[in-house]
Amino acid sequence: MPGSSANDIVIVGGGIGGLTLALSLEAAGFGDRVRVFDVVPEFKPVGGGINLGPHAIRVLSGLGLLDELLAVSRQPSDYAFFTKNGQLVYREPWGKAAGHEWPHISIHRGELHRILSGALMARAGADSLHMGHRCVAVSQDAGSVTATFERDGGDSVIQKGTILIGCDGVHSLVRRTLHPHEGPPRYHGINLWRGVAIHKPFLTGNSIARIGAMRATMIIYPIRDNIDGAGNQLVNWVAEVDSEHAAVADWNAEARLEDFYPVYENWNFDWIDVAALIRSTHPILSYPMVDRDPLERWTFDRITLLGDAAHPMFPRGGNGAAQSILDASALARHVAGSPSDLPAALQSYEDERRPATERVVLQNRTAPPNIIVDTVEQRTGGKRFDKLEDFITQKELREIFESYQKTAGYHVDIVKNQR
């Protein structure tokens, strides 16, 4: 491959984690050594919205991307929880309104990807990013790594390097090579349906709303303001419903309305008509709620894992992308701190990040943010209430939510002390 070298840092996967890692390494002075390979022939604006907390935005801001992100996103100022009857149970300030130095950003995944890939090409050059390359094998010896890629035309490409990072997602070839007997991701009986639609502002016009308990949940938030010149917003929604059979594990798989709509067809509240929002959406996408048990080991000498390849988790609370971004920042920092012993740098990265992400994986399974509503609906029997304080106090609800924020790493006190 033109420009390739055994001194290169090979990144398998050009998603959010892989691109953030490449940019972080470029900022640390390794830009001429970064090589990112992705299977798709070109990046397209597919998918839906994504939430990035202040802990992740701190990293992206440090990479000089904040102004671009702010221009194509919304920065929510409150997070509100409602029962399946549309009754408010808890609301708190969010992002900068909660005292963070950096905002919380709600953005279309395609816009985030465009900004990351554009910045990498501009800073590290065209040879830093290689599209249409499917990784089919990785190996290493005492002094180098080797990755084999197949291109769309059928020819093979061999890339040598000094270290290799698997950023290739929940179905990671790199992870499967390191842990060949692990088996497929685990389905937990819940499917996600999601989409984006043009809608008038709801609540404050700058709110994240989470409706319903853990077995039938909807989260709704704007990701772009005045999308049509008439004051309407581009609004993202995600539905979680218990399902006997798993959807196809493809973030861009289209779904059938009838597979989940009956759960929400009567969710018409005075502040938003959820059923109408769903009906106005095209396409609707689906994805199964899958993760993997935490690994005891990510790093094998010159090869390690990052993001969903290392710790696939339920896509709740904006944690998948955010934890990938934090991984990338930590790995680049350790590489910069130990450039003469990169295997040791990879191990130090794992020692820092593996325990932290393991806690988030397990928390997202058992006590995600909507446990607030789950607790309320258990105590009220799912019925409407006149006085919520007859069942639970705001202090108790605040403690539940703060516990989740601390585990996920975006509580205001934790972000202030983040490295």
Report the chain's mean pLDDT, rounded to a whole number.
91
If one compares 241 and 328, the residue with the highest pLDDT of the two is 328
CA distance 266 to 264: 5
- Which position has the higher pLDDT, 412 or 299? 299
pLDDT band at 298 (very low <50, low <70, confident <90, very high): very high
Q: Spelled out in words, what is the top-level CATH class assigned to the domain 9-76+103-184+293-366?
A: alpha beta
Strands 73-74 and 163-166: unpaired
Residues 360-379, mean pLDDT to the nearest whole number: 81
Confidence (pLDDT) at 147: 97
More confident site: 5 or 140: 140
Of 111-115, 231-235, 399-403, the least confident: 399-403
Asked if the model's pLDDT at residue 46 lies above 60, the reply is yes
**What per-residue confidence (pLDDT) applies to 365?**
74
pLDDT of residue 368: 66
| Encoded tokens for 214 | 């853990």
Whether the per-residue pLDDT at 78 is higher than 50: the answer is: yes
Reply yes or no on whether the pLDDT at 141 is more than 70. Answer: yes
**Does 334 have pLDDT greater than 50?**
yes
pLDDT of 419: 59
Rounded distance, CA 10 to CA 17, Å? 13
103, 206 contact by CB (below 8 A): no
Give the pLDDT of residue 418. 66
Mean pLDDT of 32-40: 96
**Residue 273: DSSP 8-state:** B
CA distance 21 to 251: 21
Mean pLDDT of 131-154: 94
pLDDT at 351 (0 to 100): 98
Residues above pLDDT 70, as percent of the chain: 96
Q: Residue 243's closest CA among 232, 234, 256?
A: 256
Confidence of residue 145 (pLDDT cuts 50, 70, 90): very high
**pLDDT confidence of residue 186:** 85
Q: What is the structure's pLDDT at 406?
A: 76
Half-sphere exposure (Cβ direction) of 339: Cα atoms closer than 13 Å: 8
Q: Record the pTM.
A: 0.93
User: 153-167, 359-373, 376-390: which range is least confident on average?
Assistant: 359-373
The answer to whether residue 226 scores a pLDDT higher than 70 is yes
Strands 186-199 and 233-242: antiparallel
Strands (E), 22-177: 34-37, 49-52, 73-74, 78-82, 88-93, 105-108, 129-130, 133-140, 145-151, 156-161, 163-166
Tell me, what's the pLDDT at 138? 98
Give the domain ranges of the chain. 9-76+103-184+293-366
Phi, psi of 393 (to 5 degrees): -95, 160
Q: Provide the pLDDT for residue 402.
A: 84
Which whole number is the average pLDDT over 13-22? 97
Nearest one of 153, 109, 161 to 132, comparing CA atoms: 153
Report pLDDT digits (tens) over 164-221: 999 999 999 999 999 999 988 888 888 889 999 999 999 999 999 999 987 789 999 9
d(CA 350, CA 198): 42
Average pLDDT, integer, range 329-341: 97
pLDDT of res. 414: 78
* Rg of the chain in Å (alpha carbons): 21
Percent of the chain at pLDDT > 90 equals 73
Provide the pLDDT confidence category of residue 2 given band limits of 50, 70 and 90: very low
CB 26 within 8 A of CB 125: no
